[in-house]
């Protein structure tokens, strides 16, 4: 997974824009007409009230596979609340932490693969 910054730095901003568009198309494929926002950089937010937790988990799983296939792999995190408390900032912070854990885990696995290939 090349992050947006690395793509912009090595391949140019047009390549970075194409990466963002591929990621958006992947997200739209699994979340359709839900409210989707770009927060900045390569961070997107989808807000939905109409999906059950199990459905979201399945869509996230399928989305990860599709992003790999489309060479648009990005870290993902989501939060489910059965009864929304109204604390949007807390939910966003929680999803952000989960997303960063996904990113950390990905890079750790890539590091292990690289070390194994060098042996």
For the stretch 12-52, pLDDT in tens is 999 999 999 999 999 999 998 778 888 888 888 888 888 89
The mean per-residue pLDDT over the stretch 63-90 comes to 88
Confidence of residue 1 (pLDDT cuts 50, 70, 90): low
Beta-carbon contacts of 36 under 8 Å, excluding residues fewer than 6 positions away, are 24, 27, 28, 44, 45, 46
Strands 43-47 and 35-40 turn out to be antiparallel
Residue among 31, 38, 20 at smallest CA distance from 60: 31
Q: Cα-flanking dihedrals φ and ψ of residue 82, to 5°?
A: -65, -40
* pLDDT of 2: 63
- What is the pTM (predicted TM-score) of this model? 0.80
Give the distance between the most distant pair of CA atoms in the chain: 52
């Amino acid at each position: 997974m090349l992050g947006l910054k690395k793509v912009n730095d090595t391949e140019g901003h047009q390549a970075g824009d194409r990466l963002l568009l591929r990621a958006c198309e992947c997200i739209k494929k699994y979340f359709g007409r839900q409210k989707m926002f770009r927060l900045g950089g390569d961070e997107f937010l989808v807000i939905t009230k109409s999906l059950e937790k199990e459905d979201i988990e399945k869509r996230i799983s399928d989305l990860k596979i599709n992003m790999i296939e489309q060479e648009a792999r990005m870290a993902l995190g989501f939060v489910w609340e059965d009864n929304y408390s109204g604390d949007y900032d807390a939910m966003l912070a929680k999803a952000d932490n989960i997303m960063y854990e996904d990113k950390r885990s990905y890079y750790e696995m890539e590091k292990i693969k690289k070390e194994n290939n060098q042996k």
